[in-house]
């Protein structure tokens, strides 16, 4: 069962989307409604709410990532 994210995480997700102009780091989609703030180290694995632990993905890339069809090298960040 997934843990409910504290407001501080939700706030950082909004912040990273704003900082990265809602641009997906994978496919460069720029549709604001598609932007997702994504934890690089998952919240479920005790990923922090530090802004450095977030990036922006579009909905399509976010779904692919969680389905195991997209790999993001977190060490490049």
Catalogue the E-assigned strands of the chain.
35-39, 54-58
Q: What's the pLDDT tens digit per position in 44-73? A: 888 888 999 999 999 999 999 999 999 888
Domain boundaries, the chain: 7-76
What pLDDT is attached to residue 76?
A: 64
**Which uninterrupted H or E stretch holds 16?**
helix 7-19
Per the rule left: phi > 0, alpha: psi between -120 and 50, beta: everything else, 75 is alpha
Which of these CATH numbers, 3.40.50, 3.30.70, 1.10.3470, 1.10.30, describes 7-76? 1.10.30
pTM score, two decimals? 0.83
Q: What is the C-alpha to C-alpha distance for residues 23 and 16, in angstroms, rounded to an integer?
A: 10
Residue 8 predicted with pLDDT over 90 = no
In this predicted model, what pLDDT tens digit does every residue of 17-36 receive, in sequence order? 999 999 999 999 999 999 99
pLDDT at residue 70, as a whole number: 93
């Amino acid at each position: 069962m997934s843990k409910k994210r504290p407001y501080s995480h939700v706030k950082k997700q909004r912040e990273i989307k704003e900082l990265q102009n809602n641009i997906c780091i994978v496919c460069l989609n720029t549709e604001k409604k598609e932007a997702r703030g994504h934890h690089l180290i998952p919240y479920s694995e005790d990923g922090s709410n530090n802004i450095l632990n977030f990036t922006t993905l579009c909905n399509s890339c976010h779904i692919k990532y969680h389905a195991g069809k997209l790999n993001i090298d977190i060490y490049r960040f």
